Amino acid sequence: MSADHHEQTGGREPAHGTRVPPSPPRPPDPPDAAATWRELLGREHLGAAVVLAGGVLAGAINIYLAASLLPTAVADLGGASFYAWNMTVYLVAMVIATMLTARSLSAWGNVGSYLAGFATFTVGSLACAASPAMAALLVSRGVQGLGAGLLSGLGFAVVRSALPPRLWTRGTALMSAMYGVGNFAGPALGGLFAQFGAWRPAFAAMAVIGVVCGAIVPRALPRGERGERGARAAVPVGSLVLVTAAAGAVSVAGVVAGTPAKAAVLALALLLMGGFVVHERRGAHRVFPEATYRRGSSLKWVYLTIGVLTFGVAVESFLPLFGQRLAGLPPLVAGFFAAAVSLGWSTTQIGSSSVTGRRAVRRLRVLGPMLLAAGLLVQGLVQRADTPGWLVLVWVPVLFAAGAGIGLAYPHLSVAVMTSTRDPEEGGRAAAAIATVTSLSIAFGTALAGILVNLGGSSMLDSARYVLFGFAAVCATGALTAYAADRTGRAKP
């Protein structure tokens, strides 16, 4: 990673008169080779690690927690017609909040921003627990999503100041692993509470987590620098509107009836994202750092690779359905089979983050998407209408291998983003955008999976193959974007 900064900035200073320190961040690779997980989780850095990882985990758990609780909540509150909007409201709110991370850090600093994030998440969770009607639950989920999105964005942005450079790769791996843990724990915890009809206590438990993590913040994190009046990060209103509209359209695509309607809404979302890119290139106030749009920069390819990897995670939304319909698995068992992707993601990252050689890191960035695509392809090939038990057991290592592809590449891609600029403010914006890309990609992936399932019609086997083969094709493009990032970086003087 020691060459990533020079590769992505080309040795040029950031534009628009930003204050630039005399030298770039110290490359994390050589020190990180000697760093250990014990050092990261030792007394000096344990508090920071808990806050950073806890914020990401809280948001990740709640993506799928409510999905397991909703049937019980609907039986209590009614409002079945709003059922599908629960995930929509939460994901859109998360995307909006991740885009406001730079503004939050500029206005309140590290500690103030984290306290605001945990407070918003806690209030939203308590409001969910006390909701008297489904409409109130949806509004509360939006508030909860705002807090979760801010915490996710802050995690990647604050790691640059909360941890020394030698621990950036480990810290990033720990946080990104929380997405996998959340995808595994969310349905499990939701199902456990729903088993006893206790959907309200589930949200109350999330509020307790928010309070506990928030209490650690003042002692665990450096306060960070606030921007002075007039110099604080401006709210990127145009970009915010376009991305919010795109995220909303993607979420709507997941709930409208009929494949043509879904495809039309998804096409609208892609057009809005195209408008977002055009606006970002020309606008003065951006969500992504200026280097993303600079000719010859590899940063855009790094973001695209992160997006493709996290896009593949969305396949988990429908794997339980395939397990139940094609293999006759009980819902709880099918859910744990599907979580093998997240388990592979989380487990592999711990080992992958120990790799520091420049060539090895570049190979992992390309290998990750290839392994993810290969795993999904094989999973599609082994689908059967009446899957025998022995073949069901094959699903676990195959799905684990697919998730391992994400874990191999994700932490190194994240560190490439964090070391992409000399300016601390631009670096924070670049790191926070990782969470924006992740949230958007999961939303787009979920919508596309819904369209592919519908293409199968009455045949669940066809639906499973459409989803798995389609996702394999998309994820395979990540190897091309990772190679483009490598090649663009090497072309720099």
With cut-offs at 50, 70 and 90, classify the pLDDT of residue 401. Answer: very high
Cα separation, 293 vs 270, whole angstroms: 18
CATH 1.20.1250.20 domain range(s) in the chain: 41-225, 286-493
What pLDDT, on the 0 to 100 scale, is given for residue 136? 92
Mean pLDDT of the chain: 81
pTM of the full structure: 0.78
Would the CA dihedral through 58, 60, 65, 66 be positive or negative? positive
pLDDT tens column, 347-378: 888 788 778 788 888 999 999 999 999 999 99
Bigger pLDDT: 93 vs 375: 375
pLDDT tens column, 423-476: 777 777 788 888 888 888 887 888 788 888 888 888 999 999 999 999 999 999
Class at the top of the CATH hierarchy for domain 286-493: mainly alpha
Return the structure tokens found at 377. 């392809």
With cut-offs at 50, 70 and 90, classify the pLDDT of residue 113. Answer: very high
What pLDDT, on the 0 to 100 scale, is given for residue 386? 87
Q: SS3 helix, strand, coil % of the chain, rounded to 5?
A: 80, 0, 20
Cα separation, 59 vs 53, whole angstroms: 10
Cα separation, 56 vs 38, whole angstroms: 21
475 to 91, 311, 313, 445: CA distances (angstroms): 22, 8, 10, 11
With cut-offs at 50, 70 and 90, classify the pLDDT of residue 11. Answer: very low
252 to 88, 91, 458: CA distances (angstroms): 7, 11, 23
With cut-offs at 50, 70 and 90, classify the pLDDT of residue 492. Answer: low
HSE-CB of 67 using CA atoms within 13 angstroms:
22
Class at the top of the CATH hierarchy for domain 41-225: mainly alpha
C-beta of residue 32 within 8 angstroms of C-beta of residue 154: no
With cut-offs at 50, 70 and 90, classify the pLDDT of residue 61. Answer: confident
Cα separation, 144 vs 479, whole angstroms: 35
Would the CA dihedral through 354, 344, 247, 140 be positive or negative? negative
Q: Of 410, 346, 409, 406, which is closest to residue 376 (Cα–Cα)? A: 406
Give the containing element (helix H, strand E) for 130.
none
Amino acid at 465: R
Q: Give the DSSP letter of residue 82.
A: G
Cα separation, 474 vs 441, whole angstroms: 12
